């Protein structure tokens, strides 16, 4: 899995812009949560769809970015959480045990 580190709030504008051409996936990970670690492990064992960019947010280090994501894409903050951004909008979000690469692949198709 080739994660793009999400470390700056300014990246959210680029993610939104790029999503008009290529679906963008954001994974919000809590390094303090075993459920989040399990979700990350499940994602990394699967083959990601090649037609999407995958961004990784360490929300413990970057809680301000997590808050900005919730505001920008009108989603309720959860952890772990996966978001699929297309055409500048969040079209799919899931958390905890609901996170699966198969679901992500269906959304970016």
8-42: per-residue pLDDT in tens? 999 999 999 999 999 999 999 999 999 999 999 99
Q: What is the DSSP letter of 96?
A: G
Contact 58, 29 (CB under 8 A): yes
4-108 — its CATH code?
A: 3.40.30.10
Return the domain boundaries, the chain. 4-108
Entry pTM: 0.96
Burial annotation 57-84 (CB, 10 A radius, 16+ → b, else e): bbbeebeebbebbbebbebeebbbbbbb
Tell me what pLDDT residue 77 has.
87
């Amino acid at each position: 899995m080739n994660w793009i580190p999400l470390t700056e709030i300014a990246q959210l504008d680029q993610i939104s812009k790029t999503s008009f051409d290529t679906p963008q996936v954001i994974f919000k990970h809590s390094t303090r949560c075993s459920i989040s670690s399990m979700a990350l492990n499940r994602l990394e064992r699967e083959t990601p769809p090649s037609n999407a960019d995958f961004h990784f947010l360490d929300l413990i280090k970057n809680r301000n970015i997590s808050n900005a994501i919730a505001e920008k894409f009108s989603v309720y903050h959860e952890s772990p959480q996966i978001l699929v951004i297309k055409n500048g909008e969040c079209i799919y979000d899931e958390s905890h045990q609901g996170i699966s690469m198969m679901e992500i692949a269906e959304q970016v198709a």
